[in-house]
Amino acid sequence: MKKLLISLFVLVFLAVIAGVGALYYVKPDKTLGLAYDEVPLKDRAIDMAKRMSLDLILTDDDLNNLAKKSLADNPSVEKGIVVTGAEFALDGDRLIANLNVLWKDWVPANLQITYRLRWKDPNLVAVVLEAKMKDVPLPKAMFSERVIPIADELPKPLKIESMKWGEGEVGVTFRKPSLKDLQQLIGG
């Protein structure tokens, strides 16, 4: 009986150590926040219209700020998962998200999610390609696609026609506005 109790105690002790080790392993290495800078898309669009151009460039920083704004407005991304901090990097048509999350309101963890970006009028949609917690792969099905609302930030007369992915930037091409749309946009 004494050997059984000692064995049980050792198993419980090892389970506790393993649990603490797992919590230590998944905890975020870097402190991230959801603070973002406003992206002056409306001002840029008006300037673009004044130059009689239909093209606008969104930089890596612009997309980082727009994605953070989207998360700050709705940090609860999946059932039981709340984002507490994020940083995003653009790599062609891929958006790499480094997320600090809180699972079930008590387990802090770090997730790396790679999304493929695509334009779905009127927003930019990020579809999950790969998800990891540290170096441990996670099923893509655990995470849903994210919407980055770009059209909401633009003046109403402007409509995006297409997007072209480049190194560290996205080229946005607008539909040719009517004369009435241009007058409304420029305020004439």
How confident is the model at residue 36, as a pLDDT? 92
d(CA 37, CA 46): 19
Q: Left if phi > 0, otherwise alpha if psi is -120 to 50, otherwise beta: which for 168?
A: left
**Nearest CA among 65, 66, 83 for reference residue 74:** 83
pLDDT of residue 181: 73
Distances (CA, A) of 165 to 40, 70, 104: 20, 20, 36
Tens of pLDDT, residue by residue, the chain (188 residues): 788 878 887 788 787 887 776 666 677 888 899 999 999 988 887 788 778 788 888 898 998 998 899 888 888 878 888 999 999 999 989 999 999 999 888 889 899 999 999 988 888 899 999 999 888 899 988 888 888 888 777 777 778 888 898 888 888 888 887 777 777 766 65
Nearest CA among 135, 136, 116 for reference residue 126: 116
Instruction: Give the per-residue pLDDT at 76.
Output: 86
